[in-house]
A and B are shown apart, each in its own frame.
Chain A
Amino acid sequence: MSKKSFRQAINEALRQEMQRDPRVVLIGEDIAGGQGGTAGIVDAWGGVLGVTKGLYTEFGAERVFDTPISEASYIGAAVGAAATGLRPVAELMFVDFVGSCLDQIMNQAAKFRYMFGGKARTPLVIRAMYGAGFNAAAQHSQALYPLFTHIPGLKVVVPSSPYEAKGLLIEAIRDDDPVIFLENKVMYDDEEDVPDEPYSIPFGEANLTREGDDVTIVAFGRMVNFANEAADRLEKDGISCTVIDPRTTSPLDAATILECVEDTGRLVIVDESSPRCNMATDVAALVAEEAFDALKAPIRRVGPPHTPVPFATVLEKLYLPDAARIESAVRSVMAYKKTKQDA
């Protein structure tokens, strides 16, 4: 066990799975980097944010494939390779680039098994960065996990910490279905204790990062950290919160969410993705349908406005949910109960 960054945790998961299984190959733009240049430095980048650094040096050109900037062809190739015996991990760099290769994910990988009568296996992982907070503007900042969650046949992972990222990525690589693994780009330097040995975290099993009696907060990816921060502040004022990190949006651990809402009677959902048809609306619908009688207050959703992600720091800060907004949402659902009782 040692302190590792989110970036190192992901790199370690890839390295250990590549050591374990020779069918695991990496495909992506600049995942080694430096090939064909004039400086002579190969493995120069390890992806634009250095996540795969060193893997080309360790595993070589037969396992690590730099690609042209050509998402449709190499994501499609990863799908085809997965259906024919390899276990590719493809890096899409920014998830926003899915616009260039959605067909390969949505119409090919996701549907093979069903269309082919259960006879296909497509053990593919597509890694990509998501999220605002990097001044990366509208085409490099989206949180598109609801888009993938919407598509039957895909599994979708949004890790909330270095520990989670390593265990969930190992699970993703060992999984026999296509998995979209989304890394919040602001978190790459976050550090925590991460075991050195390989371990996996099952999909569809939520993690309770805080347990409390008053309000259930469901948060996704980086938002789990803000939810924890808000819960810790609220605790000091005597408001105790359960914080649920679902870990995966598909499959979704509906049972744990419903159980916690039954216990607390109040629900706040924190989702950094665009607010229409996102995970917050999905969880809200689930609870409204299955746990209506347990609710002591309306469900509150904390998220960005229905706009593209802005560039300027001042606007981007307004755009993204933070601990203060979560805290305020929790106080409002608590206040709602008091108002009702007073009336």
Chain B
Amino acid sequence: MQIAHDILLRSYRSMRTIRDFEERLHVEFATGEIPGFVHLYCGEEASAVGVCAHLSETDTIASTHRGHGHCIAKGVGVDGMMAEIYGRKSGVCHGKGGSMHIADLSLGMLGANGIVGGGPPLICGAALSHKVLKDGGVAVAFYGDGASNEGTTLESLNLAMVWQLPAVFVCEDNGYGEATGASYACAGTQKARAAGFGMPYFDCDGTDFFAVYEAAGQAIAHARAGNGPVMLHVNLARWYGHFEGDAMTYRVNGEVARERAEHDCLKNFRQRVTEVSLLEPSALDEIDTSVKDEIEAAVKAAKSAPLPEPADLEADVYVSY
């Protein structure tokens, strides 16, 4: 499969940005300066980026509580995101949403979501908008193996088929719904679930950008061509706990270390593209440095950004009231 240089560079940058953003949050959260809950996407970067590489601003995505990666992959700026997570007025949601509610509808980012299984029904609606307004867009629901057991998700698979929507259901299967293993909580298989609804199914190694890019390309093309919805099952691993502060006592010792050593999507990407001289190591180094600076600047700016003001408390509940 040939992937254009600019897409490769952009995708690497996007994955590196997610990784650095999340690793930095892991450090900053431990200082106690970040309020609330934070759920990190480290280890899963190739999924968000491999899928969103096929999307434009016309297309819509809905994300999960573990949403930072999807936001970055869909083009939301790290400055606004970091400020939001710090609860600042300059945040993308003016400090009123926080980590779990980052959204930018102007970019087709329908929001992270604090409710497990919240996204799939919304994506049926976004797909309906694309279909009725005939704008050529597709709508993509990212959801986890945990959310795959929610009635909302199963109902959405059915509705999307009944209405033949341009929808893509991306099941990011990291093996854990909070602290409970998918091997315990998910009966049957995602593949069989898709088949039960007569829905085309694709799967891929979610730690391999190229595998995700290829599978997502086929899945999204199917939906975009008006052939109805598809499921894309992405197998990957979560490098941190369900939330920050989770000691992951439910995981086998060495499980995460092995994932980091063997299934690091960034390391694998670098190895793959430099081996065959698709990209120069120096070009990737340049991105690494630039992203590092960008995250540093975002944290610095967020820490010194103004807080919301008392008048903001009652603002923006309604368009008019």
Tell me if B121 counts as interface (CB < 8 A to partner A): yes
Tell me if B152 counts as interface (CB < 8 A to partner A): yes
A116 touches B133 (CB 8 A): no
B91 touches A76 (CB 8 A): no
Tell me the minimal C-beta distance from B261 to chain A in angstroms: 38
In the complex, which residues of chain A have a beta carbon less than 8 angstroms from the beta carbon of B232?
none
Tell me the minimal C-beta distance from A146 to chain B in angstroms: 18
Known contacts A76-B152, A103-B118: does B319 contact A83 (CB below 8 Å)? Answer: no
Tell me if A246 counts as interface (CB < 8 A to partner B): no
Tell me the minimal C-beta distance from B37 to chain A in angstroms: 14
The listed residue (A23, A70, A73, A118) touching B316 by CB distance below 8 A is: A118
Give per-residue flags for B297-321: 1 if the beta carbon is below 8 A from chain A beta carbons, else 0.
0000000000000000001111111
Tell me if A81 counts as interface (CB < 8 A to partner B): yes
A116 touches B93 (CB 8 A): yes
Known contacts A73-B156, A176-B320, A177-B319: does B103 contact A119 (CB below 8 Å)? Answer: yes
B124 touches A119 (CB 8 A): no
Tell me if B125 counts as interface (CB < 8 A to partner A): yes
Q: How many A-B residue pairs have CB under 8 A?
A: 161
In the complex, which residues of chain A have a beta carbon less than 8 angstroms from the beta carbon of B113?
108
Residue of B nearest to A80 (CB): B125
Tell me if A112 counts as interface (CB < 8 A to partner B): yes
A119 touches B93 (CB 8 A): yes
Interface centre among B105, B118, B125, B133 (most CB of A within 10 A): B125
B128 touches A77 (CB 8 A): yes
Q: Say which one of A61-69, A226-234, A291-299, A309-317 lies at the interface with B.
A: A61-69
Tell me if B235 counts as interface (CB < 8 A to partner A): no
The listed residue (A88, A112, A176) touching B111 by CB distance below 8 A is: A112
A132–B166 CA distance with the chains assembled, in angstroms: 41
Give per-residue flags for A100-137: 1 if the beta carbon is below 8 A from chain B beta carbons, else 0.
00011001100111111111110000000000000000
A65 touches B122 (CB 8 A): no
B91 touches A115 (CB 8 A): no
A115 touches B317 (CB 8 A): no
Give per-residue flags for A77-90: 1 if the beta carbon is below 8 A from chain B beta carbons, else 0.
11111111110100
Known contacts A70-B155, A84-B60: does B115 contact A103 (CB below 8 Å)? Answer: yes
The listed residue (A62, A78, A107, A119) touching B118 by CB distance below 8 A is: A107
A74–B122 CA distance with the chains assembled, in angstroms: 9
Question: Could you list 14 examples of A-B contacts with CB < 8 Å?
Answer: A65-B163, A67-B159, A73-B152, A73-B156, A73-B158, A76-B118, A76-B122, A80-B126, A83-B105, A85-B129, A115-B111, A118-B316, A120-B105, A177-B320
Question: Known pairs A115-B97, A175-B320. 16 more at Cβ < 8 A?
Answer: A25-B128, A72-B121, A76-B122, A76-B152, A77-B122, A80-B110, A81-B126, A86-B128, A103-B115, A103-B118, A116-B97, A117-B94, A118-B316, A121-B319, A177-B321, A251-B321
Residues on A lying within 8 angstroms of B by beta carbon are 23, 25, 62-63, 65, 67-68, 70, 72-86, 88, 103-104, 107-108, 111-121, 152-153, 155, 175-177, 204, 251
Residues on B lying within 8 angstroms of A by beta carbon are 60, 62, 91-97, 101, 103-106, 110-111, 113-115, 118, 120-126, 128-130, 132-133, 139, 151-152, 155-156, 158-159, 162-163, 315-321
